Amino acid sequence: MEAIFSSPFFGITLSILAYQVGLLCKKKWQLDIVNPLVIAVTIIIMVLKIFDISFEQYNAGGAYISLMLAPVTAALGVAIYQQWQTLKDNWLPIVVGVVVGSLSSVWSIRILSQMFGLQPQLAVSLLAKSVTTPIAVELSQQLGGIEAVTVAGVIFTGIFGAVFSPLLIKLLKIKNPIARGVAIGTSSHGLGTSKALEIGKVEGAMSGIAMGLAGVVTVIIILLL
Amino acid sequence: MKIMLQISIVFGICWLGELISALLPFPFPTSVLGMLLIFLALQLKILRVVQMETTINFFLKNMAFFFIPTSVSILKYYGILSQQLWQFVLICLLSTLITFSFTAAAVSLVLRFSKKGEY
């Protein structure tokens, strides 16, 4: 029985089916808060708990899907190429947005960690959580953080970004697609960018470029400040 | 076979990205390097969009799906976080909302004051 769940086919099939359920829910309710990714993740975690399957067993298949993250993110290069003119014309607001955003990310984590009395080692692990995993992990290690905590922070941040970005866009009445995209990419890296792409082409491209820029800017901020 | 060929272009670029990433003196994500390489290849007319269109459109349309296993991995971190889980989650949430709002405000402000003023 154990071996059945250790097959890569199990994890891949479960992921696809759970995501289909998520997509159906989104189609049915048409609400921004109904996020297919969150629904899929919830279903999978429930299945694993109910049938007592370990994450490692699930990830025998899951790892193949994760492997695809690099080519999927690289695909953003096409989106950026197609929006190059908009990007060139608006380089200043984009750069200012990413710098302001990265600064507010690092400082808000510092202040909030103190407010909530988070253990210093956890707090330091969180500092770079708004950027893409490899950069965040490297920064965390240099600061003496715990890698696992950093990865968890990056994932939570991405999920929150994907779920709450559409709501914030409405709440704050952000009409400009450049502002929307840069805000999503700076605050919630690739996971947020997947939502930006669903909102629009310009949003997706801007989010992609902001994600890359935010990584570089955050390294500079954390190592200098 | 057309789709296989398209996939091989994108995979090949990622592989090149890994190669460059290994040569760089500092860590830089392969995925972002791949993004830059595809952009450059298109800009320099080494590649054309039609050569990868079907695959790229599929990737961009279904990007969220590929984040599922990574997101499920939060299961693994429950133990290490259990002492301060709620503080941890709340800080992640609040700082994401703050970062989003500040970034959007900064971009909007600069757009408004820049000469185009199309905002």
Give B56-68 pLDDT, tens digit per residue.
999 999 999 999 9
Tell me the pLDDT of chain A averaged across its residues.
93
Contact A148 B60 (CB under 8 A): no
Q: Give the mean pLDDT of B15-40.
A: 90
Contacts of B44 in chain A (CB under 8 A): none
Q: Is B44 strand, coil or helix?
A: coil
Rounded Cα distance, A194 and B30, in Å: 18
Residues from chain A that touch B66, judged by Cβ atoms under 8 A, are 65-66, 68-69, 72
The pTM assigned to this predicted structure is 0.90
How confident is the model at residue B57, as a pLDDT?
92
Segment (H or E) for A56: helix A55-67
The pLDDT value given to residue A45: 96
ipTM (interface pTM)? 0.92
For the cut 60, the answer to whether the pLDDT of residue A122 exceeds it is yes
Question: In angstroms, rounded to a whole number, what is the distance separating the alpha carbons of residues A85 and A116?
Answer: 44
- Contact criterion met (CB < 8 Å) for A74 and B35: yes
- Give the mean model confidence (pLDDT) for residues B96-113: 96
Examine the pLDDT at A131 and tell me if it is beyond 50.
yes
**Model confidence at A206: pLDDT above 90:** yes
Q: Which of A67, A72, A100 to mutate to test the interface with B (most CBs of B within 10 A)?
A: A72
Compute the distance between CA of residue A217 and CA of residue A214 in angstroms, rounded to an integer: 5
Report d(CA B17, CA B80) in Å as an integer: 33
pLDDT of residue B116: 56
Predicted confidence band of residue B82 (pLDDT cuts 50, 70, 90):
confident
